Amino acid sequence: MKPAAKSSPAGNPLDADTRSRIEQIIQPMSGLPGALLPILHAIQDAFGHVPAASVPLIANALNLSRAEVHGVISFYHDFRSTPPGRHVLKLCRAEACQAMGARALEAQLVSRLGIGFHETTADGSITLEPVYCLGNCACAPTAMLDDKVHGRLTLQRLDALIDGCGKAS
């Protein structure tokens, strides 16, 4: 018989398998200087986000408060507290991309997807995130879809990327 889910101090259910996976990530790194960021990255790599239920486990292992761990998660833009959509679209908002039309792309995305930055479409297909330079300034405006950079974007090319995600208009 499978053990019942336990509640974490944060009040979120934590099944035994998830708890074990999180502890297996934390344990080997907990003694390292500056272990918090590597642990958070490893957890996000494993789960696609940093589950709220992992915060007390991390805090306990590193002798930090839950507020300190949460503060780091909320400070860095790359950490997510909720699972992302099936596809993650990052639109560059740096100056070169802005100068080359990224604001029009942003307006197109907000209109077509019905979401803003740091949100996921209702069907779970796309999460939209801002990024502040993809290092592709010569080919601005630029976006990254699922870790693949796309430069010289136009409204039409952006629509094609969205269509490729299976997101209907």
Q: 57 with 39: CB under 8 angstroms?
A: no
Residue 64, Cα to own-chain centre: how many angstroms?
23
Q: Model-level pTM greater than 0.85?
A: no
CATH topology of domain 87-164: Glutaredoxin (3.40.30)
pLDDT band of residue 125 (cuts 50, 70, 90) is very high
DSSP helix/strand/coil, 28: helix
pLDDT averaged over every residue in the chain: 90
pLDDT digits (tens, 9 = 90+) for 26-59: 999 999 999 999 999 999 999 999 999 999 999 9
DSSP helix/strand/coil, 94: coil
Say which DSSP state 138 is in.
Answer: G
DSSP helix/strand/coil, 117: coil
Residue that the structure tokens 């010289």 belong to: 152
Query: Tell me, what amino acid is at 18?
Result: T
pLDDT digits (tens, 9 = 90+) for 57-90: 999 999 999 999 999 999 998 899 999 999 999 9
